[in-house]
Amino acid sequence: MPCFSQKGSLNKQYKILYTIGQGGFGYVQLALHRRTGVAVAIKVVENVKKHLRLVLSEIAALETMRHPHIIRLFQVLTTTKYCYIITEYVPGGNLYQLVKEEGRLQEGHAQVIFGQLVSAIRCCHDHDIVHRDLKPPNILLDAHGNVKLGDFGLATMCGAGTVLYGCCGTKTYNAPEMVLREGYDGKKADVWSLGVLLYFITTGHHPFRGSTLEETEKKITIGMYNIPAHISGQLENLIHQILTVALERRPSIEDLQHHPWVKNPEENISSDPYPDPKIVDKLFDHGFAANEIFDSLQKRKYDEIMGTYLLLQEQEHQGLDSTSSFTTADPGPAPPPSPVPPLTSGRYLKRRASEPTFGLLHTRPSQQHLPDVLTLSGQKINRSVSMPLWCSQKKSPTSSHAPLTKAASAPCVYHSRVEEEMPLPPGPDSNMEKSCLPQTIECFRGLCRRIRVCLSRLCYFPWASNPQTGRVFNTKVAPLKESGGRRSKE
């Protein structure tokens, strides 16, 4: 479960545009993330006891699963009155609107939609999560017409052999065992709801229709429905299998994926590193401190920091230019920049002398699946202010680069002497310092010569010899004709 964040204000992080719709226990708003400019959907739920279980169920389900056809959770923010669940914005409406506006779907189109939905439910069931409210209004469509399964307020855990009780969801999509108020298998109940949904999108109406609720429930319990003539043989066979009243003969979600009518999607489930050093580097640009970043990502708090991280990650997946969004989006009142130790190449951020180096950056926690992001090649650390300058830089003259190495048990403490003795990694940075070394040494020696000559003349040191000629200076002080330590001729 994520840790709810009570810091900051919703309006400081998001620019609310307008209300999209209203659900059973809240309403949804369209908003823009001020830091990245990404559009998000914000479900607003009043903080009352009767809504608490629904809110916790939805958050627990969304933060557990990562699937291309399941709505993605970005952030959870709470105040004294409301809970805000920030998820990805899906602009294509829902499946109910699509069928009502365009009529029943052609089988080719229905195959794509249903295959993506079966894949999403398979992911839920693999995590022992049952949705229990599968219906067309909860099946969202993105800009390309792909499925995004949402509204997990009635979701619950249902492992093998678990028997659930209590009727929930929409009556016309409930399985017969739920209508009869019997104990039921949540996964098999989801499969039944999928069958009703499949019938609806391919015919344009519900399979079980009665003049009263009692008549509708009776048809559900006995499985009485008609198949229109335009339905193909394979689709009819699939509907008959799913809408099987006998629980033991009803197929599982895995069985549906192997049916010849079901078109399984080619999914590209990303396996990005967590945390991604490049995205963490961008979080530094927004002023977040290193210890706060890694505490949020390690504990999966779904607070402002993790929300920004996930939105930046979403930008990369969609191929958006995150750099341009930094400059064009309304940043709002951003938090002040905090001194942080460097994480990725190209960043040279200083750390306060009193602030210890964050140990998480150096060793991997034993109970977390966080990669050691600092062992990548090309990582840089800052040289201490007291260290001598060996290679001049145009923009950062006090910087020097050395690679970080991973120690099994040593604390993450760096000393200027250790940094000085660490070898340079092979690569362009090493070649740069090697090429500028002779010129730098010569400049350093010239500076030493000028200092020695000036000191010898000011203090009347007759024994101070010229490092170039070896001659002894007299005790007369003469003005310098030019820099470089040479005396003007008398």
CB within 8 Å of 270: residues ≥ 6 apart? 317
The span from the first CA to the last CA of the chain, in angstroms, equals: 85
Does the N-terminal peptide bond of residue 479 adopt cis geometry, omega within 30 degrees of 0?
A: no
Which one, of 72, 120, 148, lies nearest residue 309 by Cα?
72
Amino acid code (one letter) for 78? T
Which one, of 295, 231, 330, 444, lies nearest residue 17 by Cα?
330
CB within 8 Å of 17: residues ≥ 6 apart? 29, 30, 31, 32
For residues 314 and 184, give the distance between their C-alpha atoms in angstroms, rounded to a whole number: 38
Which one, of 233, 229, 316, 317, lies nearest residue 269 by Cα?
317
| Helix spans in 303-366 (H) | 304-318, 322-328
Cross-strand partners of 77: 5, 84
- The set of catalytic residues is 133
* Number of C-beta neighbours around residue 324 at 10 A: 10
Amino acid code (one letter) for 299? K
Please, what's the b/e burial string for 380-402 (b: 16 or more CB within 10 A of its CB; e: otherwise)?
Answer: bbbbeeeeeeebeeeeeeebbbb
Helix or strand run (H / E) with residue 130: strand 129-130
- Rg of the chain over Cα atoms, rounded to whole angstroms, equals 33
| DSSP E strands, 156-293 | 156-157
For residues 481 and 471, give the distance between their C-alpha atoms in angstroms, rounded to a whole number: 18
Distance of CA 375 to CAs 273, 383, 407, Å?
Answer: 13, 18, 10
Which one, of 3, 1, 51, 49, lies nearest residue 26 by Cα?
51
The answer to whether 265 and 256 have CB atoms below 8 angstroms apart is no
For residues 430 and 329, give the distance between their C-alpha atoms in angstroms, rounded to a whole number: 38
**DSSP classification of residue 94:** B
